[in-house]
Structure 1
């Protein structure tokens, strides 16, 4: 983490306060598997919303997060337009959020978000490792109806629900 903050972040953007960027990184980890709300993320990290948007793009460029864009289709109306953020490494997200072990994480409030993050990233990596641009998206409307992952492969739409339940 220290190497990333000192070397890689400085190469990608101008960060004056490493501690502030680390707070942002921890706040971003708490949003894994969720729609991005730049204002809330900025408030949590004590920065401005434009800075939060810029720093999230830096994390995406560094490969620490994946921004899943919403699935758009002319027949689908009232869909949200905000991307969802996923940490590419669930272990790093757990570390940043101070989850000390897997048993506590599984019983915790973010267990379903971590499961969704893991599932989406495994599907993403399966496409990326074959040299393909992952044809992924998600759908959520203003009534909070959601499909966690939409695969658009060869013109066929495959909606996937990712749920954790007892």
Structure 2
């Protein structure tokens, strides 16, 4: 039996502890309800010289706004939770660490991409390190290695994984559960649905208005519902504008806000000299597959199922990239001839691992079409290619390509 979901060990804890030892300001950034406060408190446990400030408390927030310098005057490490709620603190924090440059001076948490907020004005180059905290990964939930990215870059086409007991219905259940600790704790579908509904209400009423002046929240809600149906697809602003009856400029502004508060993520397109026909449109995906699935409740067609499964896989890769030792970036690929690959991982050496997602228990040769095209175009740079699917075993498809169970993403360890 799992311990309480919000107390599960987080892979990010080691990153925070390392940064506290050599960096003046450490920022834990992520969506609301991902466990940022819990992680910060756990990383400071055993440190006797800690001052904790929680800006969701109105009295604390009022004090911070009235006297930022005095608010920050404390020995040891100061933890400030939801620091984006008082933007005026930012310049005072900069001034404090310039006068006293000791490591671990401030540990900040925020429910928005803090350095993207225009109100802050200064990104504190050289003084801060940002650690992104996403909803729980499957490996964090199940205490498994979560080492797929490191393993495939180490082994390339020689990567091997064992059989899986999971099937399509199991993966769909995991995707619909998502990774928010509170959603994992609620095992009854009706109670989990209530969490997602309340979570969206909270996001719309608090987080959105903290970062922008949105006059018609109903338009934002309609956009969120529409985006859920397009998670895992290319982002088409013009089509969204037409479907919703909103100006393209407004759609762009709202999408930027939703990314800023970690509700969605835009995955950039990948291209190289060898793939000059690649398009540059980003792919949109929800940060949590459970939230996207909640918004699609009642829609059971193949397109919706494929969208949720791709959102789930992209989410696991995104989480894993924050702690993998391989310095890699996540992209997608599509060219003007219609060939596409759902996920492209490229490391600093230019090696490419390409991944296609299939929400089926069987795979066919044709499922590797995009991978083979990319492999021919890249030559030696193509390190390995995989179709991750809902089946039970790894299957070779020649030339460094294979199908692997989706569970390999979190069960794979050192090869």
**TM-score normalised by structure 2 residue count:** 0.37
- Deviation, structure 1 residue 33: 0.4
Q: What CA RMSD, in Å, does the superposition of the two structures yield over aligned residues? A: 1.9
* Over 4 Å off, 4+ runs: 129-134
* Structure 2: distance between partners of 1:59 and 1:112: 22
Q: Which of 232, 237, 242 is matched with 1:38 structurally?
A: 237
Q: CA deviation at 1:165?
A: 2.8
Determine if contact 2:259/2:266 at 8 Å carries over to the other structure. Answer: yes
Pick one of 141, 146, 156 that aligns with 2:335.
141
Query: Aligned pair 1:69/2:264, yes or no?
Result: no
Counterpart CA distance in 2 for 1:85 and 1:36 is: 6
- Go from structure 1 to structure 2 and tell me whether the alpha carbon gap of 1:44 and 1:124 turns closer, same or farther (over 3 Å shift): same
- The whole-number CA distance in structure 1 between the counterparts of 2:284 and 2:250 is 16
* Corresponding position: 1:119 with 2:313: yes
- CA shift digits 1:66-122 (9 cap, x unpaired): 10001121221111111000001112112223x15xxx74x5431111111100110
- SS of match in other structure, 2:284: strand
Number of equivalent positions: 161
Gaps of 5+ in 1: none
Residue 26 to residue 77, structure 1, CA distance change in 2 (3 Å): same
Instruction: Rate the CA distance shift 1:109–1:157 in 2: closer, same or farther, 3 A.
Output: closer
Aligned residues of 1:150 and 1:158 also touching (Cα < 8 A): yes
The aligned counterpart of 1:161 is 356
Task: Report the secondary structure of 2:357's partner residue.
Answer: coil
Q: Which residue, 219, 232, 250 being the options, matches 1:51?
A: 250
Per-residue CA deviations over 1:124-162 (Å, capped at 9, x if unaligned) read: 101124598750111100111001111002321111111
Structure 2: runs of 5 or more not aligned: 1-199, 362-415
Tell me which residue corresponds to 1:28: 227
CA contact (8 A) 1:128 1:134 kept: no
SS at the partner of 1:135? strand
Q: CA deviation at 1:43?
A: 2.0
| From 86, 89, 93, the counterpart of 2:292 | 93
Higher Rg of the two aligned structures: 2
| TM-score, length-scaled by structure 1 | 0.88
* 8 Å CA contact retained: 2:328, 2:347: no
**Partners of 1:157 and 1:109 in 2: CA distance:** 27
Q: Do the aligned partners of residues 64 and 153 (structure 1) sit closer, same or farther apart at CA in structure 2, a change above 3 Å counting? A: same
